[in-house]
């Protein structure tokens, strides 16, 4: 997959089929659209292109927006690379860009930059300054500029019964099972392992303390989860605690993972952890002994679950 960080750098010698959107999560509904895009491009001898934007428009236009996204931009790229897509264009979203009229947007982005011949778009897609143009307007621009517009109907979208909003809600509730089903892959957290208070080591449960630099990344509900990670070409399973460690009077949220049957130094390494199942809520125990007992029960449950899956 070719990747462009600005539509102006796209090689527009090959006419394209384009779909446009945020594609947060790149979930099973998105993949249905992408498969259709790729099939159509191959049939007509055109380039399959996704046009997306970063930062998310709400981050730019609503400074107080606390929107949380399913994927970081790097995770989104990673998932899209596996789809068979030929070109991904991630255009910078700025206030200046948002002020383009619908006509300017079509001319500059779709025609001049992407050499578009066909656009596949959702029935409710809006574009241009103040998002005042819709799919009917886009079709009119298409007639004037020699490209066709294909609508993804409301029925097609609702048939999938999945949306990025529903996945965000499931994650916020800690329902990893539902989120993974909608995504079509395991939800992931990607970050750098940093030094913590090393309390897990004192409890015989050493943990990797994950720091995620992207503050817009959605973190699932506090609690204990079964996880897996590929480290040095080997898959390790473990359990993750997301929370404030109330038993030892913690004050801020941490993401700590204990990997089973592993002995390695992960400090300063960038790792990606996939979340498989939620075990329980985070709880304040009356003593360290009770906390250790609960962690042993979590480990036993996790190992039984993993052995049943593998």
Axis crossing angle, helix 164-172 with helix 176-183, rounded to the nearest 10: 160
SS3 content of the chain, % helix, strand, coil (to 5): 35, 25, 35
The pLDDT score that the predictor gives to residue 228 is: 98
Q: What is the rounded CA–CA span in Å between residue 116 and residue 200?
A: 55
pLDDT at 31: 92
Calpha distance 108→188 (Å, rounded): 35
Q: DSSP readout, 154-168?
A: HHHHHHHT--HHHHH
Residue 159 is predicted with a pLDDT of: 64
d(CA 111, CA 147): 9
Q: What is the DSSP letter of 71?
A: S
Angle subtended at Cα 294 by Cα 289 and Cα 295, rounded to the nearest 5 degrees: 95
Report the alpha-carbon distance of residue 57 to residue 54 in Å, rounded: 7
List the chain pLDDT tens, one digit each, 310 residues. Answer: 999 999 999 998 989 999 999 999 999 989 989 999 999 999 999 999 999 999 998 899 887 678 899 999 999 999 999 999 999 999 999 999 999 999 999 999 999 999 999 999 988 889 999 999 999 999 999 999 999 999 987 666 666 678 899 999 999 999 999 999 999 999 999 999 998 776 666 667 889 999 999 999 999 999 999 999 999 999 999 999 999 988 887 778 999 999 999 888 899 999 999 999 999 999 989 888 899 999 999 999 999 999 998 7
Residue length, the chain? 310
Which residues fall within 8 angstroms of residue 138, CB to CB, at 6 or more apart?
106, 119, 121, 125, 127, 149
Report whether the peptide linkage leading into residue 55 is cis, meaning its omega lies within 30 degrees of zero: yes
CA dist 51 and 73 (Å) reads 13
The reported pLDDT for the residue numbered 280 is 97
pLDDT score for 201: 65
Total-model pTM: 0.92
CA proximity to 241, closest of 286, 291, 289, 288 = 291
HSE-CB of 250 using CA atoms within 13 angstroms = 21
Neighbours of 199 (CB within 10 A): 18
DSSP letter at 220 equals P
């Amino acid at each position: 997959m070719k990747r462009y960080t600005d539509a102006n750098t796209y090689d527009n010698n090959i006419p394209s089929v384009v779909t446009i959107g945020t594609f947060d999560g790149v979930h099973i509904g998105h993949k249905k659209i992408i498969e259709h895009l790729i099939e159509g491009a191959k049939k007509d001898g055109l380039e399959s292109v996704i046009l997306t934007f970063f930062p998310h428009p709400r981050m730019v236009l609503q400074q107080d927006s606390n929107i949380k996204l399913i994927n970081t931009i790097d995770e989104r790229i990673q998932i899209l690379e596996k789809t068979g897509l030929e070109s991904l264009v991630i255009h910078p979203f700025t206030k200046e860009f948002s002020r383009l009229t619908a006509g300017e947007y079509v001319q500059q982005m779709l025609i001049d930059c992407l050499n578009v011949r066909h656009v596949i778009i959702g029935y409710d897609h809006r574009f241009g300054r103040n998002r005042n143009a819709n799919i009917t307007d886009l079709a009119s621009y298409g007639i004037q500029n020699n490209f066709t517009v294909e609508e993804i109907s409301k029925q097609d979208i609702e048939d999938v019964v999945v949306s990025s909003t529903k996945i965000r809600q499931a994650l916020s509730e800690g329902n990893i099972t539902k989120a993974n089903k909608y995504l079509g892959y395991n939800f992931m957290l990607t970050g750098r392992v940093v030094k913590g208070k090393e309390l897990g080591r004192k409890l015989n449960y050493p943990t990797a303390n994950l720091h995620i630099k992207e503050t817009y990344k959605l973190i699932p509900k506090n609690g204990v989860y079964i996880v897996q990670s590929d480290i040095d070409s080997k898959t390790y399973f473990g359990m993750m605690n997301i929370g404030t460690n109330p038993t030892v009077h913690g004050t801020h949220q941490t993401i700590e993972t204990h990997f089973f049957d592993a002995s390695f130094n992960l400090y300063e390494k960038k790792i990606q952890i996939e979340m498989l199942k939620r075990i329980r809520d985070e709880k304040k125990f009356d003593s360290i002994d009770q906390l250790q007992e609960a962690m042993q029960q979590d480990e036993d449950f996790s190992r039984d679950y993993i052995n049943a899956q593998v």
